[in-house]
Chain A
Amino acid sequence: MVEKALISGNEAIGYGAIYADCTHYFGYPITPQNELIEFMAREFPELGRTFVQAESEFASINMVCGAALTGVRAMTSTASTAFSLMQEGISGIASMELPCVIVDVQRGGPGAGSTQHSQMDYLLATRCAHGGYKNIVLAPFSAQEGFELTQLAFYLADKYRIHVILLSDGLLGQMYESVELKKLEFPPLPGKDWAMKGCAAHNYERTFIHNAPGIIGSYYDFMKRSKEKYERIKEEEVRYETYEIEDADIVLVSYGSTARAAMEAMYRARKEGIKAGLFRPITLWPFPREAINKMTEDKKNFLVVEDCMGQMIEDVELAVEGNAVINLVGSMDRNLPTGSGMILSKKVLEKIKSFG
C-alpha cells in the first residue's frame, strides 16, 4: 500500500529528500521556506542523518559544497533574497563539478521584496552567476511533483555530476496537498570514485578538487568537459507537459504554481469555445525550446503566464524565433498589485479572450 500524507509543498520536498537518501541538509531560516528547514530539523536527526543550521546562506551553501566533496547526497534550501547570497557558492560548486540540490522557494523581489509568493528568480536560476556555467533547473507545480522532482534532482545531480536547482515558489511551498509517498526507481549510477575521504581511501594518492579551473590544471579541458556535459543534458533531460495542445489556437506557457491558474483558465476558456492549450516546462534549464519551436508550425498565439515582469517570456521568444505573437500575464495582472497579490485564473481568462 502506498503511504499518503497531507503535507505542504515545502514538506513534500523534505520527504523527497528523505526518499532520495539525502543524508546531509544545511539551511538557514527564511520565509517562505521555513517549513522545510523545520521539517528537516525534526526528521533528519531521527533518521540518523545530518542537519545543520548555518549562520548564513554563505555558510550553508559552502557546507553543502564541503559535504558534496565527500560524496554524500547534500542539499540546502532557501528563498529568493538569500538565493542571491548563495550565488558565489553555487558558482564555486559549479567549478568543482559537485552534485547537490539547492531548493529555491521563490518570494518577491528585488531586495527584501515581499515574503509572499512570486516567480522572480527565473533568470537568476537559469542564467546563473558569474562564470558562464549551467545548472539543471526543475520546477514542480504541485506538492506531489515537488516530492518526485526532488528525487529526480538527486539522481540527475549524481548522473551528470552537476548541481540541480529546484525552483519552487511561496504559494506552492505553503500549500497543503495530499501526496503519495513512494520511492522512485532510477537506473544505476556510477560510483563516486572522485570523492574526497582522505588519501588512504585512494591508496595514498591524493585527491585535489579545487575551484580554480583557470589557474590550476587545464582551463581548456574544464571548458570542453563542461560543454559536453551541458550538450548531453540538453539532449537527454528536457522535460515538459502539455495539456489540450493538439487543436489549440492559443497556447499558454506557464510553470510552477502559476501553471495551476493557467490550467484552470485554459479549461474555462475551452468551456466558452476558445481552443486554448497549456504548455508547462518542467526543466527550465534545459528549456524545451525545440518543443515550443515545433508548435509554431500551426500555432501562432502564445500567452506566457508567470508571476514576474517577464522572465520566462525571453526563453519563449527565443524558442518561437519570431514565428508567433507572444503576450504576457505578469505581476501587473495580480488580483491585487501588492505583496499579497497573485495571478488568478479569471485574469488569465480575460487575457485569453482579449488576445491579439
Chain B
Amino acid sequence: MEKKKKVIEVEINKEFCKACSYCVDSCPKECLVMGEELNSTGYNFPVFVNQDDCTGCGACGFLCPDIAIEVYEVL
C-alpha cells in the first residue's frame, strides 16, 4: 500500500521576521530561500518554495528566534 504523503503548510509571518536566515540554514531539504521582498521594518524574509520536498520536520519553526514560522500538517 502506498504511503500517503503528508501535506505540510509553512506559514511565515513576514512582519515578525528579522532575516537571520537560521530557517534557511536549518532546512535539510532546502525548501526555504531568502526572498527579495522587504517587510515593513526593512528585512527580507524567507519564502517557502519547495512544498513537495518538505517532510514536516519542523526545524525552521523550532529554530526561528522570532517565532515567525509555524509549520502545520494538514490532516
Asked if chains A and B are in direct contact (CB within 8 A), the reply is no
